[in-house]
Every structure is written in structure tokens, then in C-alpha cells.
Structure 1
């Protein structure tokens, strides 16, 4: 029982910094004004230049 508890506790201790680092590198936090602008941009139609870019066939294929 002691060994199992020790392993679980050590796993939590060593993984917490890893999870924090992953969150720090992958989560983007925006101020509320910037987030509101982002939401408005999602509601607008996609510009033609962006649609053209999405539809392009890459040269490397």
C-alpha cells in the first residue's frame, strides 16, 4: 500500500510542472476586448483572399 501511494504522489509531483509547461505553451489568453474582437471576426464571412489561399494546391505535393 505504501509503495502504491508513494508512486502516485511522486507521479503527481513530477507531472504538475510538465502540465503547467504544456498549458503555458499551448493556451493563448486574451484580454476581454481582444476576445470580443476575435468572436466578431469569427462571425464575419471569410475574405476572398483567404478562400483562395485555402483552395490552393501546394507546390510540394
Structure 2
């Protein structure tokens, strides 16, 4: 999948001290991208929007 137009945003749960940092691109047609912000040129996981919403809905401490 071409991620050239992806607008990545860092998770509000990511730590600011260089630890676990996740970025999400939810502006892609029919897909949600997830990547490690410390390795922006590295691999990205791609999920269908329904699967991503189901995952986020089950994240503990959300809301």
C-alpha cells in the first residue's frame, strides 16, 4: 500500500522520553496505518478501519 499521503499523528499515550511511541494514519482510504515513530521509514501495519475501531474500543483506560 502506498503511504505517501499518510498524515501520521503520535498517540497521546506515547511517552515523551523516547520510549514506546506509536503513530497512526487514519486519513487513508479504506485503511489505518500504524508505525513506530522512532523508525518512520520502517514497516507499517495496515488495518481495515473496522478492525482498528474494534481494537481501540478495547484498549484499557481509554476514555
Higher Rg: 1
The verdict on a shared fold, with TM-score over 0.5 as the criterion, is: no
Instruction: Report the TM-score range of the alignment, normalised by the length of the smaller protein.
Output: under 0.3
**Normalising to structure 2: TM-score of the pair?**
0.24
Structure (1 or 2) with the greater helix fraction = 1
Q: Higher relative contact order at CA 8 Å, sep ≥6: structure 1 or structure 2? A: 2
**Normalising to structure 1: TM-score of the pair?**
0.25
